[in-house]
Structure formats: C-alpha cells, structure tokens
Amino acid sequence: MSANRAGNVRMQVAPAGPLRGELLVPGDKSISHRAVMLGAIATGRSRISGFLAGEDTLATMRAFQQMGVRIDRREDTALEIHGVGRDGLRAAHGPLDLGNSGTSARLLSGLLAGQAFDSEIIGDASLMQRPMGRVVDPLRLMGAELSCTAAGTLPLKIRGGARLHGVEFALPVASAQVKSALLLAGLYAEGDTCVMEPAPTRDHTERMLRMFGVEVRSGDGRICVNRQPLCATDIQVPADISSAAFFLVAASIVPGSDLVLKGVGINPTRAAVIDILRAMGAQIEIHSSGAPASEPVADLRVRYSPLTGIHIPRDLVPIAIDEFPAILVAAACADGITVLTGAAELRVKESDRIAAMAAGLHALGITAEPAADGMSVTGGVFRRGTVDSAGDHRIAMAFAVAGCRASGQVQITDCANVNTSFPGFAGCLRAVGGNISEQQV
C-alpha cells in the first residue's frame, strides 16, 4: 500500500439541491510543477503565487529541496524559490521519492539526465507501476544514461555526467509529459532538441520556458530548444481547469444549479472540456479577465441544462485527457449514448481509468461498455451504491459529482489521493450546496 493511501478516506455523497455561488478551485497542478522546476534551475529569486499545495506538487518541491534549492513558503499557496542556476543542483542524499506524481517523475527524468551527479527516482506503489519507457527511450537517444526495470517502470536510475546532444524526435503518441522531458533535457544538450507532436498537447512547458527567458521555437507541431540559461521571474498560477471540470459537470447535471468558477486557466491546449460539454448542451459562459498573462484566465459561469449524448471528437481527446472521468459522469446523465474513442492513454494513468470508470458506472446502474481506447455510455439515472476509486483522485471526485445527482447515497472508497490534486475538495463541494462527508478508515 502506498504512503498516500495509508490511513485512507471514504467519501459519502447524498443527492443535492441546486449548486450555487462562486468558487475558486486550487491552482493548476501542471503549471505548479513546472514553476518549481524552472524556478529551481533559474538564476535569481522567483515568486510563485497561486501554487497548488497538493501532495503531487509538494513532492516536486521536496525533491528540489533535497538537491540544494532553498524554497520558502510565504503562505500555503505562495513560494519564493532561490534558484541555483541551470548547473547548480547538487546530488540528493538518497532517492527522490515523488509519491504518486507521474508528471514529476517523467519531467524530472529529462531535467536530471543533464546533471553531473547520479540520481534515482522512486514513488508510491501506484507510481512504481506506471510506464517510464516512453521517456527513457528518447532520452537515451540524446545520450542520457538511464536504467529502469525490465517492465519499463520505476525505480529509474540516472547516471550523471552524460554528454547530451540534441535530437529530432517524433512523438509516437501525443504526450505533454514526454515532450516536456525532452525539452528540459534539451536545456543541457549540445545542438537543437526538436520534438514533433502528432496532435497538440498542453503547452505549459513552452510558455513557461519563455517566461524564464528561454528561446523556444515552435510551429507546425514542432517545438525546439537548445542549451540556454534561465532567469528568475514571477509566476501567477491560475485555477486548475482539471479541478474546475468537476464543478462544471456538477452544475450541468444538478437541476437549478448556477455556479461561477473564478480565475480558471483556459489555455487552448487544456480547455477542450468546455468544448465537449458545450457540444452536449451545457450552458457555460466564459468571462475573460482581460489581464495580460502567459496563461489565459477567465471566470466560468455554468448553469444546469439537459445534456445529450455525442460522439466525442477525436481531435479533442488529447487536450481533455485528464477531464474524462468528469466528462463520463456527464455522459451518464445525458439523453442517448456518448462514445469516446482514441483515449488509450487513460489505461495508464493513476489507475486504468477506462476500467475504473466502467466499473463505477455499472455499480451505480449505468450502462457503460469499455473498449481498448475508450467506452460508450448510455445515459440513465444513478442509483445508490458503492464505488471503488482504485486510489485515483480523479475517479473519486468524478463519482462524488455523480452522487449529487443520484437517487440515493453514493459511497466512494480509497479516496486519500484526492489530496494529490485538490486538497479541500469536499469542503468546496459543501460550500456550494453539495451534501458530502468524509470518514477516515
């Protein structure tokens, strides 16, 4: 059992009346990870506001502290990072334990490949089973010396002192994590490192590298960097659209609901959840903040509306991959059938999310037919029941949303890992009218 899941949590959700009010969900997890990583290897002091103080991002922060970076927490969501420069990291005393965070493990593998010292990356029981070959293989093409298990999983051992050289690498599958790992390694490599994407993925790494003064060349699905220093800067982390997605769905399916989600990041490589829900009939208004920033931000107003099943466009799948647990709950409340294809990546997340969602939907009386790369969901009525979240934070929160529209109480087990991305989730749901309680087990 992983450390994160020891002393576990069970959530109980009863049908709710209308969800109403304003809500600020926690900061974006992807951006928080990258802000810490780049701030640590920049020269000078960076200030990060809106930082997500979740278990995943705190694992990233602790890893850099182990490598000699001073990071001061001014508030729960405000950091000052005293960067040591691109070549200033020091060897940690022991393995870097990244808990449940696949983003940390994969991005750090690229960054550490260019260091002068040896490193080892480990994680909790879930992370130790997740595939790392997708980053190990292309990093080896750059000259990195890495080893993992025969199954391509952690622990990952990285030998320091390797002379990296740039490569041109075409991603076989769209993956922001692999792209980012190679771009971070490219900061330490001789020559250009160029990554070609088969489809757009979240571009937070490219945007943030530019904020730290790095020249990034991009166009036509090709992103290139070379060996460059980074200069400290200040980062404002927007509210996480992946966290907001649960409330976009909740307000869409609970009659009478009217919610405003404040300051949400609507980066076009992340906002496909809005397009998908709107295609199903959701009433979502985007009120742009108008403030200039590297990441677009807006207030989102969502009101209840009857939904209709759709065939989810395949081109939107890579840029909504983390939101599908929530989207599939919306599909279960829609009239007709919703079909998801092209989402095989869901099989290798914190859980097999296709299997976990299908099992949970079945447990609540919904017809769901899983496939290798997606599923079809026939809209119906959630009945009372118990769902195993498989220790996956997004599965747990998705079925908490389902409980708001169920005919009776829904119990979700193995929920401790909600804190990896959304500490205080239950409190936020209660604050807007949700009927949810938590119990330590």
Kindly list the catalytic residues.
Answer: 322
Distance CA 103, CA 110 (A): 11
Query: Which residues, including other chains, have CB under 8 Å from residue 67's CB and lie 6 or more apart?
Result: 40, 89, 90, 91, 92, 96
Helices (H) and strands (E) counted in the chain, each on its own, are 12, 23
Asked if residue 424 lies in contact with residue 393, where contact means CB atoms within 8 angstroms, the answer is no
Cα radius of gyration (the chain): 21
The 10 Å Cβ neighbour count of residue 84 is 18
Residue 190 CA: distances (Å) to CA of 71, 103, 114, 135, 365:
30, 25, 11, 19, 57
Angle between helices 55-66 and 29-41 (to 10 degrees): 10
Distance CA 99, CA 167 (A): 30
Asked if residue 180 lies in contact with residue 169, where contact means CB atoms within 8 angstroms, the answer is no
Place of tokens 């949303």: 401
The SS3 of residue 115 is coil
Phi and psi dihedrals of 179, rounded to 5?
Answer: -55, -50
The tokens describing 272, both together, are: 């496909």
Q: Nearest-CA neighbor of 416 among 12, 3, 2, 5?
A: 5
Long-range CB pairs of 63-72 (<8 Å, 24+ gap) are 63/92, 63/96, 63/97, 63/98, 63/104, 63/108, 64/36, 64/37, 64/40, 64/89, 66/92, 66/93, 66/94, 66/96, 67/40, 67/91, 67/92, 67/96, 69/40, 71/36, 71/40
The tokens describing 60, both together, are: 């990233």
5 by Cβ neighbours in 10 Å (0-12 / 13-18 / 19+) ranks as middle
The 10 Å Cβ neighbour count of residue 73 is 14
Residue 64 parent element (H or E): helix 55-66
